[in-house]
């Protein structure tokens, strides 16, 4: 049973229940905690890992018609996948009257790109879009935002399901797990909807 959680300054917070609402990287970190490392449930978490992600939002000077609002693609950087979203279309009709397009380009397994400057990442995202949808060539980037997320997204790989937790801890009667890393929810996807 978990009776409390120690926080900064060695303060002990008394608990009735504990919910671990964290991703794979954090679970792997918990597996190294001396109080948890001997427990088989937490030992399995040592097999989990996260992957690097870059979230890039481009604000363009004009609207661009796209065939789909959400798109998965690859082949623009070695071993890097990406998705891009026409955010204005996804949120229609809420932003229909606003000028310009807003496009989110997310790069997955993107460790090879993390060292680039934000400007270089925004330029790469725009070049990739220009190739996929030629209509993007007529639009210019007027602003951009880049968020670098090292090891932040769960990386599912063959066999990883066996190392993921269920909602109820096997080790503690009052500990639970939440989030897309949890298995056994009668929901076959690995997604943030969980």
In the chain, what percentage of residues exceed pLDDT 70?
Answer: 95
| pTM for the whole structure | 0.75
Q: How far is CA 168 from CA 48, 111, 175, 178, in A?
A: 18, 33, 6, 9
Res 180: pLDDT? 78
User: Could you give the CA distance from residue 137 to residue 7 in angstroms, rounded to a whole number?
Assistant: 52
Higher pLDDT, 147 or 74: 147
Reading the block at residue 110, the tokens are 């993107």
pLDDT at 160 over 70: yes
Q: What tokens does 66 get?
A: 């796209």
Sequence-separated (6 or more) residues with CB below 8 Å from residue 158: none
Residue 26: what pLDDT? 87
CB 179 within 8 A of CB 21: yes
Q: Where is average pLDDT lowest: 14-28, 35-49, 89-103?
A: 89-103
């Amino acid at each position: 049973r978990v009776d409390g959680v120690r926080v900064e300054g060695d303060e002990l917070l008394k608990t009735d229940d504990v919910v671990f609402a964290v991703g794979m990287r954090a679970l792997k970190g918990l597996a190294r905690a001396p109080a948890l490392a001997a427990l088989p449930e937490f030992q399995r978490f040592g097999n989990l890992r996260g992957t690097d992600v870059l979230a890039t939002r481009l604000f363009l000077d004009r609207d661009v018609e796209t065939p789909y609002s959400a798109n998965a693609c690859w082949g623009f950087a070695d071993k890097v996948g990406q998705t891009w979203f026409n955010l204005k279309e996804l949120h229609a009709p809420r932003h229909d009257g606003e000028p310009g397009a807003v496009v989110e380009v997310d790069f997955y397994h993107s460790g090879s790109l993390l060292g680039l400057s934000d400007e270089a990442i925004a330029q790469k995202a725009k070049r990739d879009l220009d190739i996929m949808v030629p209509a993007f060539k007529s639009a210019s980037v007027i602003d951009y935002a880049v968020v670098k997320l090292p090891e932040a997204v769960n990386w599912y790989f063959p066999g990883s399901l066996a190392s993921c937790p269920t909602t109820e801890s096997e080790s503690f009667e009052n500990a639970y797990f939440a989030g897309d890393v949890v298995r056994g929810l009668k929901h076959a996807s690995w997604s943030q909807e969980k």
